[in-house]
Amino acid sequence: MNNRPVLLQSDLPGISVRRGKVRDVYDFGDRLLFVATDRISAFDWILPTGIPDKGRVLTQISKFWFDRLGVPHHLLDADLDSLPLPAGTDREALAGRSLVVRKTTVFPVECVVRGYLVGSGWKEYQQSRSVCGIPLRDGLVEASKLDAPTFTPATKAESGHDENIPFEQMEQIVGAETAAQLRELSTRIYTQAAEYAATRGLLLADTKFEFGSVDGQIILIDEVLTPDSSRFWPADQYQPGRNPPSFDKQFVRDWLETTGWDKNSPPPPLPDEIVTKTRAKYIEAYERLTGETFM
């Protein structure tokens, strides 16, 4: 049963903040404070209704993966006491949804790895037998497992959709050597995560990573392998030829499609039933991945 209030926007007076679709990012000099709110977006709009505990779930899943993956990353601490917070800060509202991270020079590309043919990749395959310009063999169907994890970079969009780009364009953006390093690192992390997810009865269909650099070292940043950045499927419901249910905001998208909303004007508020179902899906993802009960 949920008794916590929904947090749609955090507030730290006097601290510089940048607000994304989900996270509020506060600048503390050489460190940043990531606060995952309960905001939820769909069709490039932030909805007026939040999902209780969503920010806590995403934060705890990211922390779980940062601790597990064994690669350099930006997480320093989950303890708010490590920062000089303004007097009067509502620490209870921030608890469980906050990460203190290193400030990095961010590479302006999304590092997407696909293990299965779904989403925009499936749409492209039907037209050209390729995904992001990478040729694939004939005979694949929706949700087919790819012969090998496939790296398909994208641009980072401040608003709207990220756009898939050829690897050659990524090389022009970050340099050939860095592009090759990011591709190798992304594919390795995906493979490691997919192998672990399989032990929890889950398939990792695809995911996107972000990376930055500190003193010349490439490190993993942002959120990692959450239902907002990744498509996890229940292995026991997987069947090539159809898109299995994933642990994300599909209930929200499906409901919005029934409302007649034109996607150009502000979206309607979500009904309680959709909020409850979506919250339960996020929590199920956390519990299945970590093996722990969400508190």
Judged against a pLDDT cut of 90, whether residue 1 lies above it is answered with no
pLDDT in tens, 75-86: 999 999 999 999
Judged against a pLDDT cut of 50, whether residue 170 lies above it is answered with yes
Cβ neighbors of 288 (< 8 A, separation 6 or more) are 200, 201, 202, 247
Per the CB < 8 A criterion, the answer to whether 167 and 151 are in contact is: yes
Place of tokens 């969400």: 294
Which domains, from first to last, does the chain contain? 17-103+252-266+284-290 (3.30.200.20), 105-237 (3.30.470.20)
Judged against a pLDDT cut of 90, whether residue 256 lies above it is answered with yes
pLDDT at position 132, please? 87
- To the nearest whole percent, how much of the chain has pLDDT over 70? 97
HEC profile of the chain: CCCCCCCCCCCCCCCCEEECCCEEEEECCCEEEEEECCCCEECCEECCCCCCCHHHHHHHHHHHHHHHHCCCECEEECCHHHCCCCCCCCHHHHCCCEEEEECCEECCEEEEEEEECCCHHHHHHHHHCEECCEECCCCCCCCCEEEEEEECCEECCCCCCCCECCHHHHHHHHCHHHHHHHHHHHHHHHHHHHHHHHHCCEEEEEEEEEEEEECCEEEEECCCCCCCCEEEEEHHHCCCCCCCCCCCCHHHHHHHHCCCCCCCCCCCCCCHHHHHHHHHHHHHHHHHHHCCCCC
Q: What is the mean pLDDT of residues 242-248?
A: 87
pLDDT in tens, 35-52: 999 999 999 899 999 999
Per-residue pLDDT band at 174 (split at 50, 70, 90) = very high
Per-residue pLDDT band at 244 (split at 50, 70, 90) = confident
Provide the mean pLDDT of the chain. 94
pLDDT at position 119, please? 87
pLDDT at position 161, please? 67
| 0.75 exceeded by pTM | yes
pLDDT in tens, 86-142: 998 999 999 999 999 999 999 999 999 999 999 889 999 999 999 988 999 999 999
Per the CB < 8 A criterion, the answer to whether 93 and 129 are in contact is: no
Q: What is the mean pLDDT of residues 267-278?
A: 96
Phi, psi of 196 (to 5 degrees): -70, -45
Strand partners of residue 217: 214
Judged against a pLDDT cut of 80, whether residue 255 lies above it is answered with yes
